[in-house]
Amino acid sequence: MKLAGAGVVLATSQPLLRAQVASLDVIVIGAGLAGLHAARLLEAFGLKVRVLEASKRIGGRIFTLDDVAGKPEAGGNQIGAAYARTVDVTTQLGLKLEPSGRSPLLRDDRLVIHVDGERYDLAEWGNSAANPFAEAFRNLPPDRVLSRVVGPSPLESAAAFRDPKHAKWDVPALNVLREKGFSPAALQLMAVTNGLGDTLAETSLLNLFYAQSNIAEIIKIKGPTQNIVGGNQRLPEAMARSLKGDVLLQRRVVAVDADTRGAVVRTDDGVAHRARFVVCALPLPTMRMIAFTPALPKAHADAVAVAAYGKVTQIHLEVTRPFWGDDGLAPYLWSNGPLERVFPQDSRGDGNPPSVIVWINGAECASWDRLDDAAFGARAIAELEKVYPASKGALRMAKRISWHHNALAGGAWINWAPTQITRFAHAISQPAGRVHFAGEHTGHTLRGMEAAMESGERAATEILARA
Residue 244 has pLDDT above 80, yes or no: yes
> Given pLDDT bands bounded at 50, 70 and 90, which one contains residue 373?
confident
User: Are 215 and 241 part of one and the same domain?
Assistant: no
Across residues 332-339, what is the average pLDDT? 97
Residue 367 lies in a domain: no
pLDDT > 90: what percent of the chain?
91
Q: What is the DSSP string of 161-203?
A: GG-GGGGGG-SBHHHHHHHTT--HHHHHHHHHT-TT-SSGGGS
Q: Mean pLDDT across the stretch 203-229?
A: 94
What is the rounded CA–CA span in Å between residue 215 and residue 361? 20
Residue 13 has pLDDT above 80, yes or no: no
Q: How many CB atoms lie within 10 A of CB 98?
A: 12
Of 152, 186, 220, the last residue of a domain is 220
**Does residue 393 lie in a domain region?**
no
Last residue of a domain, one of 196, 220, 244: 220
> Taking residues 31-54, what's their average pLDDT?
98
Is the model's pLDDT at 140 over the cut of 90?
A: yes
* pLDDT value, residue 329: 81
pLDDT of residue 95: 98
Instruction: Kindly state whether residues 166 and 303 are assigned to the same domain.
Output: no
Q: Are residues 301 and 425 in the same domain?
A: yes
Do 235 and 176 share a structural domain?
A: no
Q: Is the pLDDT of residue 205 over 50?
A: yes
pLDDT tens sequence across 95-122: 999 999 889 999 999 999 999 999 999 9
Residues 182 and 254 in one domain: no
Q: Strand 291-293 vs strand 253-259: parallel, antiparallel, or unpaired? A: parallel
Report the CATH number at residue 455.
Answer: 3.50.50.60
Q: Are residues 149 and 213 in the same domain?
A: yes
Q: What is the mean pLDDT of residues 296-306?
A: 98
Question: Does any domain span residue 415?
Answer: no
Strands 312-319 and 291-293: unpaired
For the cut 90, the answer to whether the pLDDT of residue 8 exceeds it is: no
Same domain, 159 and 209: yes
Q: Would residue 364 count as lying in a domain?
A: no
What is the mean pLDDT of the segment spanning 457-465? 98
- Same domain? For 239 and 303 the reply is yes
3-class state of residue 433 by DSSP: coil
Tell me what percent of the residues of the chain surpass a pLDDT of 70. Answer: 95
Q: Give the list of residues 6+ apart from residue 9 with CB closer than 8 angstroms, or none.
A: 269, 271
Whether 45 maps to a domain, the answer reads yes
- What are the CB-based long-range contacts (under 8 Å, 24+) for 182-185? 182/149, 183/132, 185/132
Reported confidence tier of residue 238, pLDDT bands at 50, 70, 90: very high
In this structure, the answer to whether residues 142 and 212 fall within a common structural domain is yes
Q: Does any domain span residue 426?
A: yes
Same domain, 251 and 291: yes
Is 85 contained in some domain? no
In a domain, 164, yes or no: yes
Q: Which residue range(s) make up the domain with 179?
A: 132-220
Which of 220, 243, 274 represents a domain boundary (last residue)?
A: 220
Q: How many domains does the chain have?
A: 2
**One domain, residues 297 and 430:** yes
186 and 236 co-located in one domain? no
> pLDDT at residue 357 above 80?
yes
Between 21-25, 73-77, 314-318, 398-402, the lowest mean confidence (pLDDT) is in 21-25
